[in-house]
Amino acid sequence: MADFGALDDVLIGLKAAADPSRLRLLAICAQGEWTVSELTQVMGQSQPRISRHLKLLAEAGLLERFREGSWVFYRRTQLGDSARMAQLLCRMLPAEDGQLALDRQRLAAVRDARRRAAESYFDRRAEGWDSERDLAVEGDRVEREMVRLFEAEPADQLLDVGTGTGRILRVLARHIGAGLGVDASHDMLKVARANLDRRDARHCQVRHGDMYQLALPEASFDAVTLHQVLHFADDPVAVLAEARRVLKPSGRLVVVDLERHEEEWLRSEKRHRRLGFSLEEVSGWFAALGLDEVEPVRLQGDRLSVVVWVGRLPSAVDETKFERRKAA
């Protein structure tokens, strides 16, 4: 991949982007991770044509391409000089352009249809959801690790994103001052409210919410947890960025998810969007979001492994840099 450290590399990037369709693709891939079939649907062009455009953009360093099982994803390059050029090109695109506006509408329709299908899937499984989350290792191993983290450093205000049945709130109830869980599934929330209606968890509550757009003020929580949630996300970085937004200075982001794997059946049977995450991938995201990473804890299972990632927001946060990163 080009690093745009020389004039020739800049020219390669500009030449690759000098096409209306490729500029449209660059703008679309700035809004998440997408497969070729999804990009074909949004662009309204043939798959071979889209694939050629993607190949040129990836070779020029403007897009990242990565394979997981039988799926190939594309997203705008996120790090280095290549990322800065890609961000600059996107900022130069006219927001009022009719074709770009139509692309955004189609992209929103694709995203909304997928999320509605996911919410329906979760609604049908609300009662037995906790056991479905324990895919890789026994749930009590993960819970012990999370309790260890919060015993060592209790949180006055905890946010659990994608709370499901409220299980994590119950597990950590003794180590937090107050807890809030958000979830997009109404049936999950019904189960969570029943589970939290106990003496030791009545300082916890749940509400309906979107993990991409939390209806919560900035810098309002000491800790945010995402337990087996990120692999369902269309845009994992956007979810992490929104969680980071509501963290107080010195606050912690705790992500529990599957390590990268090749179990393709989890896509078709469990609606997983991503087949786990590598240590390097999450470390890169934390760094880009200004989070200081703690050494991850890896819990080995028979076929799959779970990783507990912890990132801490510095006590003195440069929000200007974060706002520029979000705007890009």
Summarised one tens digit per residue, pLDDT across range 250-282 is: 999 999 999 999 888 888 787 888 999 999 999
Q: pLDDT higher for 55 or 3?
A: 55
Mean pLDDT, residues 192-214 taken together = 85
Reference 241, options 266, 224, 259; nearest CA is 224
Stated pTM of the model:
0.69
Residue pair 191/128 in contact by the 8 Å Cβ criterion:
no
User: What per-residue confidence (pLDDT) applies to 136?
Assistant: 61
Phi, psi of 114 (to 5 degrees): -65, -40
Domains of the chain plus CATH, in order, are 7-123 (1.10.10.10), 135-327 (3.40.50.150)
Percent of the chain with pLDDT over 70: 85
Mean pLDDT, residues 92-110 taken together = 87
Q: What is the pLDDT of residues 16-75, one digit of tens each?
A: 888 889 999 999 988 877 888 889 989 888 989 999 999 998 888 888 887 766 778 888
Q: What is the pLDDT of residues 157-185, one digit of tens each?
A: 999 999 998 999 999 999 999 999 999 88
User: What per-residue confidence (pLDDT) applies to 326?
Assistant: 52
In this model, does residue 138 exceed pLDDT 90? no
